[in-house]
Amino acid sequence: MSRFPVKPFIVFCVIASLLFYHFHGLSSTSPNSKADLDAAYLTFGSPGSTSGQNQKHPIELLAEHGRRRFDHMVASQSKSLEQAIATYKKRYHREPPPGFDDWYHLAVAANATVIDEYDSVTAMFEPYWSISARELRARVREVVDPEFIDGKMLGIRVKDHQISTLNDKTGVNPYHTDILKNRMEFFLQYLPDMELAVNPFDQPSVYPPHDVLSKAVKTCSVPEGGSDDPWEISTRSPRHIYYNYLGFERTWEIATLSCPLDSPARSDTSSQPLRMTSTDEEPEELQFPRNISSLKNICEMPEVGDIHGLFLSPGPFWTTTTLVPVFSRAKISTNQDLITPATDYSKTSQYKPYNEEEDMPWDEKENRLYWVGGTTDGSWHDDRFWRRGQRYRLVRDLNNGSKPITLYQQNDSGAWKAYRSTMRSLSKYIHVKFNALDHCQPDKLCDNIKDPEEGVAFSSQKETYQDSYGSKFSFDIDGASYTERFQRLLHSHNTVFKTTIFQEWHDDFLIPWVHYVPVTLGMKELPETLRFFAETEKGQELGKAIAEDGRRWAQQAWRPVDMKLALFRILLEYARLWAPERDRTGECPWDRTGGVRG
């Protein structure tokens, strides 16, 4: 039985109709709280209950509400520089960074549809206002030193509108800096001087303790004197910053270090293991994702520590508890990396972009859910944890015909009633398999994973990414980190189902239930979600609409130029914190203590 309270469905109808569930504000970098956790789900169907006389499925309610939110977002985008500045001040309690007018005019010239939706990427800079510009520059210089963690951290310097690489020693994914530099050429003439530390690994790395973070998001550094030359940075000895290597180990303790001590993730009662399979004969209440920001708040959802490979046994995992402004491609709710549009989304990367000629119209696709991929959700070295990984659970559970599941059906009066079924009832709608055995050793463990008794299905034929275009519904699920296939699938004629714990640059303008179908990490509601879309007339209608609306919006808001514009705006925020001017003026957001308010 779910631990969430049972509530009459009519209450949720009202909530779903009225609650503007977008999680605005700056809590993504603030110490996590329970503020919006209740808005994370639309809970539906306690055992034996019905929905009263309401004939709408909860997914319909969520889609309607998502559409209202999306329409409001599009209509409210700033139409002038003056309006954009006013919106910025209202949202972030400070003046826009120098160069904001150049960014705005470049965005308008590029026909950008998103002007104001930068809450998440602006929020990630909040802790760094507490660090002086001089200290921030010193920390960046320290981590990009070729001798630091064997030169694994990449670095980029912008000086006098010229770009150079700081650390040429590393052999780890240098294409990241190449793509970043290529994107920066688009706006280089407007870009101030700066140095960047770039994380080449899939996983984020900056995890400050809660007491440090809670103070950092409330205060500013005090004004100080010193040299106006930002390049006068001496190498510090002994070093002030230390990175720990936690690859192939449980990482939950470090991942939740910034959570409040009384949060579920760090309390004594938070270590209860998630019940992976229900054996109850009675149907369960299902929780459909509503607020995606709250859904990714791991401080309030300790069960994710037992069901995601990042916390069970990741690959190379370098971490620090010092606030260091390191640029990564994705982050989780508790860490303080700075994110940019992932380099893996670039056409010049090693990943395949979307090709219209390989796709087909939605109506011509097979009516099924498709996912085929590798076992990259963790780096498994023993037999303890791999069965809990997100990809293993997806493949095993959807191919287990005897697995008990909760589904819903309408009675003669139109009320929805829960009933118990098995996964076999949906098998004709499922094509979910592994096609590669990766990240496991020794060989005996790999053999165990492929043992038919484990119930993990492997594809018997070679399948490529083009095969996903033959199905109406595609699944996108985390591997070692975020997945690069999300952009490609979103541009296609497929309806994209997505489950992730990672935050990315696009979170503020991609709307769940409008552009994609969100799925919880536990995936208990997935069978009913699939049944609704695959079997019902309304589900087919809505599924096609989500596919086409997601595709249309991606073509408007997730173009290569949009990623360049997002990077430009992110770097302007960073440059303001990096430059010596802040130390002289004591510039500070208006809602903080310390510094000087404008």
Give the pLDDT of residue 438. 84
Beta carbons of 224 and 134 less than 8 angstroms apart: yes
CB atoms within 10 A of CB 311: 23
From CA 123, how far away is CA 425, in angstroms rounded?
45
Structure token digits, residue 225: 């004197």
Beta carbons of 417 and 408 less than 8 angstroms apart: yes
From CA 400, how far away is CA 419, in angstroms rounded?
18
- Listed in sequence order, the residues at least 6 apart from 16 whose beta carbon sits closer than 8 Å to its beta carbon are 42, 58, 61, 62, 64, 65, 290
Three-state SS at 487:
helix
Chain center to CA of 211: 25
Terminal C-alpha separation, the chain: 53
Q: Is 110 exposed, middle or buried (0-12, 13-18, 19+ CB in 10 A)?
A: middle
Give the pLDDT of residue 1. 38
Give the pLDDT of residue 40. 74
Q: Is 374 exposed, middle or buried (0-12, 13-18, 19+ CB in 10 A)?
A: middle
C-alpha distances in Å from residue 255, one per residue of 292, 305, 579: 19, 9, 30
From CA 32, how far away is CA 29, in angstroms rounded?
8
pTM of the predicted protein model:
0.90
Angle among Cα 435, 436, 442 to the nearest 5 degrees reads: 145
From CA 449, how far away is CA 471, in angstroms rounded?
27
Provide the β-strand partners of residue 219.
593
CB atoms within 10 A of CB 400: 18
CB atoms within 10 A of CB 90: 9
Provide the β-strand partners of residue 244.
319
Give the pLDDT of residue 279. 53
Structure token digits, residue 155: 């670095």
Cis peptide before 58 (omega within 30 of 0): no
Structure token digits, residue 561: 């130029």
Provide the β-strand partners of residue 407.
419
| Strand ranges, E, within 283-428 | 286-289, 318-319, 326-328, 338-339, 366-374, 404-410, 416-422
From CA 207, how far away is CA 75, in angstroms rounded?
37
CB atoms within 10 A of CB 425: 14
Taking 3-state DSSP, the helix, strand and coil percentages for the chain, each rounded to the nearest 5, stand at: 40, 15, 45
From CA 576, how far away is CA 425, in angstroms rounded?
57
Domains in the chain with CATH codes: 351-551 (3.40.50)
From CA 286, how far away is CA 462, in angstroms rounded?
36
Of 122, 118, 63, 77, the closest CA to residue 511 belongs to 63
Structure token digits, residue 492: 């296609």
- Listed in sequence order, the residues at least 6 apart from 300 whose beta carbon sits closer than 8 Å to its beta carbon are 32, 33, 34, 37, 263, 264, 265, 294
Structure token digits, residue 384: 């303890």
Q: Is 518 exposed, middle or buried (0-12, 13-18, 19+ CB in 10 A)?
A: buried
- Listed in sequence order, the residues at least 6 apart from 109 whose beta carbon sits closer than 8 Å to its beta carbon are none
- pLDDT tens, per residue, the chain with 598 residues: 334 343 433 333 333 333 333 333 333 444 444 334 446 778 776 444 455 456 899 999 999 999 999 999 999 999 999 999 999 999 999 999 999 999 999 999 999 999 999 999 999 999 999 999 999 999 999 999 877 777 788 999 999 999 998 876 555 556 788 899 999 999 999 999 999 999 988 899 999 999 999 999 999 998 877 667 888 876 677 788 999 988 888 999 999 999 999 999 998 554 444 444 455 567 888 999 998 988 899 999 999 999 999 999 998 889 999 999 999 999 999 999 999 999 989 876 567 789 999 999 999 999 999 999 999 998 888 888 899 999 999 999 999 999 999 999 988 888 888 999 999 999 999 999 999 888 888 777 888 888 888 888 898 788 888 999 999 999 999 998 999 999 999 999 999 999 999 999 999 999 999 999 999 999 999 999 999 999 999 999 999 999 999 999 999 999 999 999 999 999 999 999 999 999 998 999 988 866 555 4
Which amino acid type is present at position 238? P
Beta carbons of 469 and 517 less than 8 angstroms apart: no
The runs of H, that is alpha helices, within 415-536 are: 443-450, 485-491, 526-535
Give the pLDDT of residue 198. 93
Strands 286-289 and 41-44: antiparallel
From CA 328, how far away is CA 337, in angstroms rounded?
6
